[in-house]
Structure 1
Amino acid sequence: MLAVLRTPLGLSAAALLLLVLALAVLAPIVWGAQATAVDTDAIQQGPSGAHLLGTDALGRDLLARTLVATRLSIGLALLAMLIGVAVGTVLGTAPTVLPRRTGRLVVAVVNIAVAFPGLLLALFFAVVFGVGTTGAVLAIGFATAPGFARVAQTLSASVAGRDYVAAARIAGVGRLRVLVRHVLPNIAEPLVVNATIGAGAALLSFAGLSFLGIGVQAPSYDWGRLLGDGLNRIYTNPAAALGPGVAVVLAGLAFNLCGETIAAALGQRTPLRRLLSRRPTPAPAATGEPEPAGAVLRVEQLSVRFPTAAGWAEPVRGVTFTLGAGEAVGVVGESGSGKSLTALAAARLIERPGVVVADRLEFAGRPLLSTPERELRTLLGTSLAMVFQDPATSFNPTRRIGRQLAEVAQEHQGLGRRGAFTRAIERLAQVRVPAPAKRAHQYPHEFSGGMRQRAMIGMGLMGTPRLIIADEPTTALDVTVQRQVLRLLDQVRRDTAAAVLLISHDIAVVAQTCDRVLVMYAGRIVEDLPAAGLTERARHPYTRALLAVVPDLAADRDQPLGVIAGRPPEPTALPVGCAFAPRCGFATERCRAADPVLASADDGHRVACWHPVTDGTAGGITRRGAAPVSRRREYADE
């Protein structure tokens, strides 16, 4: 918080807020008598040395009255905001406490109220509660409640579905206690930020009601009432209206800046604490079972599920593999085969309502599913790197490349702003970005596609990655840049001994780049074999089909391109037996009745097929515009 206060925003917010609060406390004491003193010899005078803003119809000093009005204006606005916060919090969190149907009714009421402008609601409630100070406070409070309720509603819904809330309910904790103990403490910080910012809006709304004559009534006065009185003399004494108008603007600005400062302090709390310590945060020590020798990622029976209208869809089912240090493993398959979801699950990036289930899912010896996210944050932030398919959408377009890379070092390694930026320049140089010091000050749109991809790899190298997940890193690049990026990934792997999980549609690229290939179809690994013998040793018909449709410069150009007949099944409509059977030229009744398991075929080779191919033919290949060209082999059921 102290570091935030040293920034221009924090310093300005603190100075303005302190000034407003000091005036609210001291102004009635210092200038109270002058503000109420009637001087019939100085009625409606303009600005002068004795009266800087002039005087009113009774000769009272307008500057003194503006200063004294600070207490009532600020006090009533804060009171109205407290009412709005209280009512909004109750309405927003009610769906987590009330029965389902009643909660939906409350949500519907809030949604209808939010659709109306706040000032219109304030005027409506002012008529309901009557003219005067009490009515205006209630009107502003109830008018601001729907917007605050929507915020509280969204925040509480995001927390109510978390595991610790479900565990508390299973343990028999009452709904109200769950709300007080588990929901409200986790949404208090953003609610405070919104309440602080909303205080400025409440101040403006209250001044508006007083200006219209339905707020504070004589003999009391606030800024809105003074502004209304001064507007009647706008042509003879503009300062009479200018004084209270400036006061409203400055006070509203103070509250808004205060809210922004609190938001900045909360958003940067962890990195600032580490920045002040100036010491790198060590990675959490591994707990539980010891890490197998050389294993970086262990996946056993991994499944990813999503709820749909037709039931649970399972786009990833029963995936098992191990990734060793310094090993490059490629994952290939058609779109929808579960390649990216498998990688996202390994990186703990599957968001609700998705559910990840696995017998074992470990990264660097740490169980990813049972370890709290806060404990894994540093480990994943420094030891896991993600290279996405389109870096144009992975970089923030409003921030410079160098600052985005430096954020990783500031967040997880405790480096200062300058040290982290220097490290970012070094990483850009490491991934062969020309003129890295200059490029670090540029925005993502100033980079070419290949350079953005290099910068994305550089971001992964800001830590000490033990695993690099590259999800289609060369799809949007031309072949020359594609080759450069793949060479760079290979060089990084050799220099850092990091494991690489390369996801691609191009089986030829994977064969040339990786040590091992995982072939996925319909959410399962159907074949796992060494990349060196991919062409000769592939035994699953789907793998053979993928190899057969790769364009070849020596192919007959008069023949149409090869395609795999049919399309993959939907995750919600998987067949009973082998998912590839409807497209396979070798399928038998056994394939349609039972799903084969991934079993060892020979040393370092696993295949899930009842009738693996041994003669190099490819089942399911069709030439566009021609009949299927694959041969069908009949097998007797064992």
Structure 2
Amino acid sequence: MLRTPLGLTATVLTVAVLLLALLGPVLLADAAAADDTDNLLAGPSGEHWAGTDNLGRDIFLRTLVAARLSIGLALAATAIAVAVGLLLGTAPFLLGRFGGRLVVAAVNVAVAFPGLLLALFFAVVFGVGALGAVLAIGCAGAPAFARLVQTLVAGVAGREYVEAALVAGVSRPRILVRHVLPNVAEPLVVNATIGAGGALLSFAGLSFLGLGVQQPAYDWGRLLFDGVSLLYLNPAAALAPGAAVLLAGLAFNLFGECVAKSLGVTTTASALAPRGSRRAPGGGRAAATTARDTATGTDGDGDVVLDVRDLEVSFPGEHGVVRPVRGVSFTVRRGEALGIVGESGSGKSLTALAAARLVGEPGRVDAERLELLGTDLQGADSRAQRRLLGTSLSLVFQDPATSFNPTQRIGAQLAEVSRHHHGLDRRAALARAVDRLRSVRITDPERRARQYPHEFSGGMRQRAMIGMGLMGSPALIVADEPTTALDVTVQQQVLDLLAAIREADDVALVLISHDVAVVREVCDRVLVMYAGRVVEDLPAADLATSARHPYTRALVAAVPDMTTDLDQPLATIPGRPVDPADVPVGCAFADRCPLVSPRCRAEDPPLATDPGGRRVACWHADETGAVAPQTRDVAARPPLEVS
């Protein structure tokens, strides 16, 4: 900031104004109060640079002395505006949906009125005088600051680390202080600095109108009021306090703008806004056993880690209830890797979030059975349940850049898991965090633990996210697109790391991915989802050769390989995925299926189980029907390509 001429000028000017406010009354108060009866209402001279008033007092010295009261009262009004704005701005997060709406509506109404009009209204309410003016300007500035806080807080409140803290049972006030406000502090400080300049001008205006500081006290607005009466005799009497208001307000505004540019912060609320092939021992056995258990509705030999039966996730919609997940059932056993594939919007991630109790309001999760290690997850929230989820289930999100709190060090964020769930002290928890970073192959973990998320590369952040999941002793790892936006080499490293963790600790893995090839090589079993339903459940080894559902075959065909004819268009699936709010009668895939029949449009096929334990929901399972390559027609609506 100081390297630019504007930044240096703004800083020097602001420091000079603040020093004048601190030292002016101490050094110049007596001289400013001295009467010169021989020079009443005198014009500017070498002795009195801005002339004298009706008592012979030096107007220039009084202007310098008035800096403390003017700036002090303006800063006090700014502090009130910030405090009230923070309360109103954070209220929607603290009060929840319904109480927050009332606060937001009140703030929107207040913002619609001009600030000066609000200041005059509150000045009448609080009364004439310095105290009333401070309260009036503070309350008048609060709505705009509250709107800014609401926008910033809403942007951070939807991040994964905030949702995880809510699920862990951390109170909303603690989340606000610990996770939300530190991430919005910079733009708030910058806007508060700029707001101080506006408060200074507003306060001078109220004093000029006779609603602020009253005699015998005086500030710049009061001096300006007195100087206007002498405008024709001595223009400098009004010019001196007017110039002081201008320079001080300009100093605060320029300083705030320069700080914003140096930090890259906006000052307006409207702008804020490779393939791993390693398998765990016994993977094939686990897949076959799980398929059999799912078909029969039994729990086999008790190795079931996650048991989901008839899972449904619903949200209120404009025209009724929307169900993006409908009747999903599956089990995951120790050491097994289950892949979930499907196009975007098919319900893959939402299924995993529902199993981890991470679907927040107004979402609703219902299931015939939802158990982790034999514990019912549909019961009332309890400390034991949160401890189970925090230690036995690990989630690896697809974007660790938003899952980590950017204002806290990596080591501290990992250590918080052990402090919260294991009761370790700060030193022991940090030591375990360093050990977990080492276990996920991050070099120099002691130094890395002291760094912030932005100092990690994408692959390192993903490994650190896996390390956070290993702070406990997870029996299940849910990896939601863990290789998104990573280059091929780093993808291979992340997948190899997950495979090594499976093999070492017999951990179950649920891998959610768009990449059918990755799922086919990493997983033992694959669930194919479409429109919120499981349409096929089959061994991963059979995915390329023995898929029975037309949608599964289309997904496999859409993935190019070394034998793909480069002279032909890539295979695509025509049409668009079904909107969860408008699921048609019958089979949801009917409009895109090459085997569609009248029965498909009239009846929704059940998820039937064959003697081998494979499940498929299709009236034409096993019938041949190729997915023809679709040529691109610029004039037509392009088909959805699947990677």
Q: CA deviation at 1:125?
A: 3.2
Structure 1 residues without counterparts, runs of 5 or longer = 1-34, 41-55, 158-182, 235-240, 250-289, 628-638
Residue 131 in structure 1 maps to residue 140 in structure 2: no
Query: What's the C-alpha RMSD, in Å, of the aligned pairs?
Result: 6.0
Contact 2:208 2:222 in 1 (8 A): no
1:394 alignment counterpart: 403
Residue 585 in structure 1 maps to residue 594 in structure 2: yes
Q: Report the CA distance shift for 1:595/1:148 in structure 2 as closer, same or farther (over 3 A).
A: same
Q: State the TM-score, normalizing by the size of structure 1.
A: 0.61
Q: Which of 312, 322, 328 pairs up with 1:303?
A: 312
Q: Larger relative CO (CA 8 A, sep 6+): 1 or 2?
A: 2
2:241 alignment counterpart: none
User: For the residues of structure 2 that align with 1:154 and 1:438, how far apart are their CA atoms?
Assistant: 35
Contact 1:542 1:584 in 2 (8 A): yes
Q: Report the CA distance shift for 1:626/1:424 in structure 2 as closer, same or farther (over 3 A).
A: closer
Q: Deviations over 1:506-525 (max 9, x none)?
A: 22221221121111111100
User: For the residues of structure 1 that align with 2:210 and 2:300, how far apart are their CA atoms?
Assistant: 72
Contact 1:406 1:421 in 2 (8 A): yes
Q: CA deviation at 1:378?
A: 3.2
Q: Deviations over 1:168-221 (max 9, x none)?
A: xxxxxxxxxxxxxxx99x999999xx9xxx9x9999899868865846766786
1:493 alignment counterpart: 502
User: For the residues of structure 2 that align with 1:546 and 1:216, how far apart are their CA atoms?
Assistant: 73
Q: Which of 622, 625, 632 pairs up with 1:619?
A: 625
User: For the residues of structure 2 that align with 1:210 and 1:584, how far apart are their CA atoms?
Assistant: 73
Counting only pairs closer than 5 Å after superposition, residues 31-110 of structure 1 correspond to structure 2 as 107=105, 110=107
User: For the residues of structure 2 that align with 1:121 and 1:380, how far apart are their CA atoms?
Assistant: 50
2:371 alignment counterpart: 362
Larger deviation, residues 474-483 vs 136-145: 136-145
Contact 1:596 1:609 in 2 (8 A): yes
Q: CA deviation at 1:535?
A: 3.8
1:312 match: secondary structure: strand
Q: CA deviation at 1:301?
A: 1.6
Contact 1:211 1:225 in 2 (8 A): yes
2:581 match: secondary structure: coil
User: For the residues of structure 1 that align with 2:498 and 2:587, how far apart are their CA atoms?
Assistant: 35
2:359 match: secondary structure: coil
User: For the residues of structure 2 that align with 1:121 and 1:441, how far apart are their CA atoms?
Assistant: 48
Q: CA deviation at 1:502?
A: 0.3
One-letter code aligned to 1:335: S
One-letter code aligned to 1:328: A
Q: Deviations over 1:122-174 (max 9, x none)?
A: 2453257653368547635753674698799999x9xxxxxxxxxxxxxxxxx
Counting only pairs closer than 5 Å after superposition, residues 125-524 of structure 1 correspond to structure 2 as 125-126=122-123, 131-132=128-129, 135-136=132-133, 139-140=136-137, 143=140, 146=143, 214=210, 293-372=302-381, 376-524=385-533
Calculate percent identity across the aligned residue pairs.
Answer: 55
User: For the residues of structure 1 that align with 2:420 and 2:208, how far apart are their CA atoms?
Assistant: 51
One-letter code aligned to 1:312: V
1:594 alignment counterpart: 603
Q: Deviations over 1:428-469 (max 9, x none)?
A: 211112332333334434433322222221121122222211
Q: Which of 604, 610, 616 pairs up with 2:613?
A: 604
Contact 1:332 1:504 in 2 (8 A): yes
Q: Deviations over 1:79-121 (max 9, x none)?
A: 999x979x979x999x9699x9xx79x93x6414225575663
Q: Report the CA distance shift for 1:364/1:204 in structure 2 as closer, same or farther (over 3 A).
A: farther
Q: CA deviation at 1:574?
A: 1.9
2:628 match: secondary structure: strand
One-letter code aligned to 1:111: N
1:125 match: secondary structure: helix
Q: Report the CA distance shift for 1:378/1:221 in structure 2 as closer, same or farther (over 3 A).
A: farther
One-letter code aligned to 2:625: G
Q: CA deviation at 1:595?
A: 0.7
User: For the residues of structure 2 that align with 1:291 and 1:224, how far apart are their CA atoms?
Assistant: 84
Contact 1:598 1:606 in 2 (8 A): yes
Contact 1:140 1:205 in 2 (8 A): no
How many equivalent residue pairs? 505
Contact 2:395 2:478 in 1 (8 A): yes
User: For the residues of structure 1 that align with 2:201 and 2:611, how far apart are their CA atoms?
Assistant: 77
1:636 alignment counterpart: none
2:585 match: secondary structure: coil
User: For the residues of structure 1 that align with 2:544 and 2:486, how far apart are their CA atoms?
Assistant: 25
User: For the residues of structure 1 that align with 2:351 and 2:604, how far apart are their CA atoms?
Assistant: 20
Q: Deviations over 1:287-335 (max 9, x none)?
A: xxx9993222222222222334344332211111112233211101122
One-letter code aligned to 1:455: A
Contact 1:544 1:619 in 2 (8 A): no
One-letter code aligned to 2:627: I
Contact 1:387 1:471 in 2 (8 A): yes
User: For the residues of structure 2 that align with 1:626 and 1:77, how far apart are their CA atoms?
Assistant: 63
User: For the residues of structure 1 that align with 2:99 and 2:542, how far apart are their CA atoms?
Assistant: 60
